[in-house]
Structure 1
Amino acid sequence: MRFIAAVLLASLGSVACGWSATFTVTNTQNSGAGSLRKAIQDANGSLGSTIAFAASLSGKKIAPTTALPAVTAENTTIDGDLNNDGRPDIVLDGVNLSAGAGVGLMVQGAPGCDVIGLCIINCPDTGLLLKAAFGAEVRSCYFGITLTSGLSNTNGRPAGVAGEQVELLVTDSAKIGGSAPTDRNYFHCGAPGDGNVGLRLVGSRSNTVVGNWFGLTQDGLSAWSGQNIGVMLERSSTGRTCRSNLIGGEITTGEPNYFGWCRRGVSLDRAHYNRVRGNYFGLAKNRNTALPINETCVHIGTSCSENTIGGSPSERNVFVSQSRGVTIQGPSAVGTQIESNWFGANGAGNGHRVMGVCVDLLQDAGLHTIGSSDPARYNVLAPNGTSQPVGVELWYSGGGARILNNIFGELPNATPAIPADAAIYCVGASPVIRGNRITRALRGLEVLKSTSDPQVYDNRFVDCSAAVRLRDGAQCRLGNLGNTNTTDNGANIFRDIDTWFIYNNTTHAVKAEGNDFDTTSAAAIDAKIWDQLDNASRGRVDYNPLIGGVAPTGGTEAVWVSGATALPTAGGAEIAFTLSAAARVTVTVLNVAGRPIATVVQDRPAEAGLQRVVWNGQSAAGTRAPGGLYLVRIEAWDAAGQTSRAVARLVLAR
């Protein structure tokens, strides 16, 4: 193919008109016969030439005192892997170069060039620059790390001049890495203060980045701390966008990319139709040892559209991060598809690994899809960070966003995950939430602010303290069979909910018709719905009819609370309520998050009528509970086994 290309270009009057040849570098001098500079100059006069290195140079440093000439002849190969073991043997050291003219090696306007087996370090600007280098391949190289000691000697920006380890500038159809372990490139990801990155794609399209290690040391089991960004995609100064690039491959075959201890793994800005799939973020090569990403594994910024994170189950990404898995932020960021990924798990899917917020849609982010209409392409979201772990967070963003068919609160092997603070946390946003399994969360869905009005249908809430909680003027559509649309069935299923099916701390009436509360008893349902019956200033939750059009059975609650107050002289509270029939009673004091603080009465028999019990203000641990707002839960069981529950607010004075 190279021969044909050479003949064709020669017939067209190509400047580089010589035949292919091999030019061997035999010394480390800056210039002259046998130098790398002379080999590049000679290769630029030929088509399809190879720049090789003498065996005596293995492990040696070539440190030019001025910038090397760019490679400009097509199909040129620079091969520094002398023993073909997939590791570099030649060091190109930019320590003597000046900032602003300190690119280690440049390929410019030359299609089909290969860079193999080089260790490029200490360049004040970019280590390797591919400029309009269509179809280039880079493999078996080290960028920003030393050949033998494994120390970081990063390229780019020590003097404030823009640079990175490798940059593709308006370069299309290049391949960085490969599917074989011997194709792997090793990248240091730069220092955050310098704005340096491992690999930067600028206005480049249809490139493949696969099988590389970003931030990991050569053994693949640890990483350098304090690194910046692994891969950055952004538009060029002329407005050419990055699009249709592939970062990764298939996680079950070939060689994935690994990212460790970076500030960000992959960052996109004004980039479109790119795919980030089949990568391990925050894990070592054993896919078990955590090397967490510090800020966010994937960041999607301004004016990004139609990018895909994940894909089929074999194209999933695995995310481990101290903070965020995927962050979408910025105006005109729309159309992201996030599917089949694992958040907060190891590569085997059987163990927790740290994850703060799995997916975060921040201010001005537009319509995005988390999950898929295809149930087989679900994300597994198991947040377990030390500070308020959340599955999906929407913060004044995600207009029309869709959260579809995901699994929250379980590991990929279906074992229970560490409970999250909230599975879905929605502030000032109105997403469609459908078909999800939401388990083991203190709050399955929390909705805040008057601009929120999510549509919540066909989800399964299991083993949550509160399944749905509304506050700060939020609205929520949980099913409305009373309107003209007779198919508006909530179809949400609530199972093993500890405290609240729905907690409506707003003045809005809430339609929650056509749902399954695991009972048809109105008393049992009302006992786990906090609304106007518990506080006259709140809105009523209308859950009639139930799923399938079934009417709730029974009437009002058997137990209700009247006038819970704090008694300053005793430092606690007197709790009053009325029983409609004789029953056994348990009274529990909860904090506003629904967590038990103290049990006042445990399974005590009581007659019908007015009841009074006293709480001494002590917690279950015997400490003095601080003043503030609490909830009092009264549970009663009659002789027939019928259960009823009521809740009242309590202000404890101190």
Structure 2
Amino acid sequence: MLFDGAVAATVADTAQADGHTTADAVKAPTADQPVASKDTHGQTDAAPASAPVAVPGQSVVFVDSRVKDVDSLLQGVAPGTQVVQLDATKDGLQQIADYLDGHQGVSSVQIIAHGNAGDLWLGNSYLSADNVAARSAVLAEIGKDMNVGGDILIYGCYTAEGERGLSFVDSLAQLTGRDVAASSNRTGLGGDWDLEIATGNIESANVLSTTAMTDYQWGLATWTATNNANTGVGSLRAAIASAQNGDIVTFNGSMTVQLTSELLINKNITVDGDLNNDGAADVILDGQYRTRVIEVSSGSIVTLDGLVITRGLVSGNGGNGGYGATGAMAGGIFNAGILTLNNVTVTSNGASGGGGGGGVTGAFYGGGGGGGGGLGGQGGGHGGSAGPGTGTLGGQAGGGGVGGYGGGYDATHMGGRGGTTTGGAGGVGVSYYSNGGNGATATNGTISIGGGGGGAGWDKVGGAGGNAVGGIYNASSGTITIVGTSTISNNIGAGGGGGGGGGQGSNASNGGIGGRGVGAIWNKGTLLITAANFAALAGNAAASGAGGTAQGGGTTGTSPTSVATIYNDGGVLNTAYSPPPTATIVVADTSLRIGETSLVTITFSEAVTGLTNADLTIANGTLTAVSSADGGITWTATFTPSASISDTTNVITLDNTGVINILGTAGVGTTNSNNYTVDTVRPTASIVFTDTALRIGETSLVTITFNEAVTGLTNADLTIANGTLTSVSSGDGGITWTGTFTPSASITDTTNLITLDNTGVSDLAGNTGSGTTDSNNYAIDTVRPTATVVVTDNALRIGETSLVTITFSEAVSGFTNADLSIANGTLSAVSSSDGGITWTATFTPSASTNDATNLITLNNTGIADLAGNAGSGTTDSNNYAIDTLRPTATIVVTDNALKIGETSLVTITFSEAVSGFTNVDLTIANGNLSAVSSSDGGITWTATFTPTASITDTTNLITLDNTGVSDLAGNAGSGTTDSNNYAIDTVRPTATIVVADTALRIGETSLVTITFSEAVSGFTNADLTIANGTLTAVSSSDGGITWTATFTPSASINDTTNLITLDNTGIADLSGNAGSGTTDSNNYAIDTVRPTATIVLADTTLTAGETSLVTITFSEAVSGFTNAD
């Protein structure tokens, strides 16, 4: 069958693969396969066969014949992959070596096969940790035929598990000299497609598609039975339980498995006992006459290979009264699934049907049928129970090879007898009951078995005796294919007797029919058996049970015809089954070029007829008429490739349905040849420069791509303009060649080519190129841009700007003000109106700067020409001077405390020389200034300040209007400048003198307060003239403004006009100004003379009645005088 992109029989070329995504999966623990952790096996390089440099090459997948559903697994396999299916009849490892010997240049060998820890099943042999050293020569040959650095990937369950698995993988790597990877857990269904263990550096990817791996419904595990026990660790039963769909169950050596219960297979597996694949069974499954050997459940797909199925036994139970007996369907194999028997012997298995129950209804008894007999002293069916009546009399259990006695109302009546090596007798009733039929006896001369006897009946149709088939039963859902050298022999089946019918005086019910006996195979489904295997049916024996009797007018039950070989019970039966012919197609010359042809050989598995070229689809060529010289097995023809074709993936495909074998069986599906390459086209090339605009420091990948792989290409075949090329090399086998181009220095050239002389190369078929091939054009610019920077106005003052022009040697890009260092100023954004050669901007000097040496510096590395070459170093502009500093000044009044008669030097110092400075520019407080003048070129100016008279002012300034002066650059000052503060005091101190008490008498004093116009110093009583009294020493408590003292008038003084006079010249204010003239106090009167009196009596002689004027004259006017005085 042709599957997507691959070849089923030999070698395949394939279609596009999907990406490979995997997920770890750990297999379920079982009795003989515990959970394995993911091993981080050290990456140890395998011993190389030669220099350890990987060589690119093809991938080959080898698929063992036991792998299920190969077609679906290989759907979408990676392009260029060759697929080889191993022959199950030959040494698989040798097949791999032989194939690689004829197909060298392989870098990835991928093996899909069934495995186990340290084991791999290839063809008809195991490769294992035990025998790997013995296969060293073959393994070395495999490694030698692979490319250096090649990988071997093994997709098989548990191959690298545990110490045994690791040892196996390491040995494979050492003996092949190649890197090996394998799985330490389950691969396929229920697992993953990861290879957890690796030696060396694995570079190959899985060639299977993600979809195919995800959808694959089979596993790749091999489970091994290591002992012959019925159950337990290492048993066949445990191995089957551990297996999953697609797995193989095998044995560690020839053995006889002793079963005590049947093996149930309910999954899609292969049980393989042909350990050396010689077509002969090496393992016996022995039922010991204690059990059926195997049951295959519905829906399961099972292959049994190389097994002997023997001594299986099924003993049917007798029917209860009124009912038929159960059948005994197959002592050897009961199949409800899809079963293939290949090289399987089914022999000496037996089955016995139980007797039917006696016919009965109502309140009467019908005898139970007897149980079927056993074999070898084992087995025996249970007797049926009597019934129904008013109670139930149970039948007896069978055992020891004897079927149980059917139930009755006593030990001798009604119940059928159990079978032994002969058939059991039918039950005998009391008067008027109908007797049961006897069980059959089947014998092949070596073994003998008997069916159970039927029970006696009364008033109903007797129950049917149980059917029996000794060898194989194929249910209606089952399909059995028997191929190889399979033998179904010496199996025996005995039917049970029918139950008795109506009794005398009861009714006319018939006796029950006897059970059918079949020796070899009972088929209700589909049975396909080759003519040879059908002919080999021998020694099988069968007998059918007798029908039950009837005494009430009914008829005795029939006894069916027994069948010793195959009884087809409404199924599909083909006893001359012929497997369809298969073929391999080999194209001898797998690499064809102009003028060449190749022998094509088509080899069939057997002689066929009907093959013509019409059955062949031929890729890119023609084929002469096929013919055979050996009777139709081998057919040959000559293939001629088509002209002007270059195709590496070609196959010849055979439609197998067009041929038939000698039995008339047509082939199935399609078969592809090995892949062949057709190259009848001369190599051509394209040359691509990746970077078509090269600048300083750049290189370019140059890719020369041929339409096919070529050899012989060197730099000598290339003409290279304005540069050099590293040696060209190929990493993909000669299709794509690369080198690195380095342009020559100091070159500007927009038209350049690399030219290939095609005649210097040949494709792998040996076809040379012709003519020349040019690359795409590439431009080279390896000259760096340079620049000049010109500041137009090189002497700048306040308010001035200058044009700045930067001129490059060529157009540039990326130029911004960030590339400029600008001294003492700012620059508007540079711009160009001629495509990037000339750039201009306006320079504005910084304020308050005075610097005669300034430059604008260009960092050339910040710009690049249109090719991308950056400049180098820096470029300076012409020098320019900046004076944007306005002149400033300081004004110092030397004497900052001026009094009467003093002057002060005033010094005005400018920050720089100025002109235009006059007294007009000055505002002078409380004084006048002589004309300012400078003796140092205009920096320092001096004048003399004279304060105004009669002024007292502590806060005075001389203020300069800076706008009236300009520096030598013409920059006018701004604002005003004040001098230091100076104080002026040109006012003499004055005083007032107040005598508080202006009328003083004896004993009185007066406060005298002298208050000056300002604080004074030097004031003492010596400065005072004091009339008619004395004054205590004057003193001041307020800093010299107010002075006080106490005045005491002189005694015996009477004077109304008195003054205290201050000589002002004796005192001075704090500035040192002396007073002038004198100051008088207010007037004060002094009267320190006591009044005196004279008393004159005018009539100094008085008589009665007389009065006299008395005159009292004081020395001065008095008050308070009364007669009381």
Q: TM-score normalised to the size of structure 2? A: 0.18
Between structure 1 and structure 2, the one with the greater Rg is 2
Q: TM-score normalised to the size of structure 1? A: 0.29
